Amino acid sequence: MNLNKVILIGRISQQPTSFQSKSGVSVTRFSLAISRDFQKNSEITDFIPLVAFDNTANFINRFFNKGDLVTVVGSLQSSQYTSKSGDLITSISVLIDQIKSLEPKSVTQARVEKGNLDAPLDEEQSAPTFYAEEKEKNTAKKSDEDENPWELDF
């Protein structure tokens, strides 16, 4: 039984960045802006660092942008390293197991087309459901001409 489970809802606060590890694994990093109540009419926004690997990383890079409203399921991980000045630094991030858009594809596309990745757009449509799970399955990329690229086989 896994006792380390994190569920977050928020907006992607920076464009996801990707790279290949030395061993050739795809890695994507970004942060999620989440709000918490501070006082009766006041909120504080926290920026949670997130990391994804392999198929999940590729999925995020292909379909998600800054400003998108998402829910993330993952686990909390911490690491430590020594800085150049000799200080012990502890880093905490969420390792993504699943990610789901909470907005319709048309809303996210309109935000990108308008060049304003930060602003949420109002539109009354049901959100598409799609998940990226960290599994070793054969994935086929769909072409941009496909009718609904949100339906991926993992």
35 located within any domain: yes
* DSSP bridge partners of 32: 12, 48
pLDDT in tens, 74-105: 999 999 999 999 999 999 999 999 999 998 87
Instruction: Report the number of distinct structural domains present in the chain.
Output: 1
146 located within any domain: no
Handedness of CA 101, 105, 107, 110 (dihedral sign): positive
106 located within any domain: yes
145 located within any domain: no
Neighbour-count burial for 87-109, b at 16+ CB within 10 Å, e otherwise: eeeeeebbbbbebbbebbbebbe
76 located within any domain: yes
pLDDT in tens, 113-126: 776 655 444 444 33
30: domain CATH number is 2.40.50.140
Structural domain harbouring 70 = 6-113
Instruction: Indicate the burial class of 150 (C-beta count within 10 angstroms; 0-12, 13-18, 19 or more).
Output: middle
Reported pTM? 0.68
126 located within any domain: no
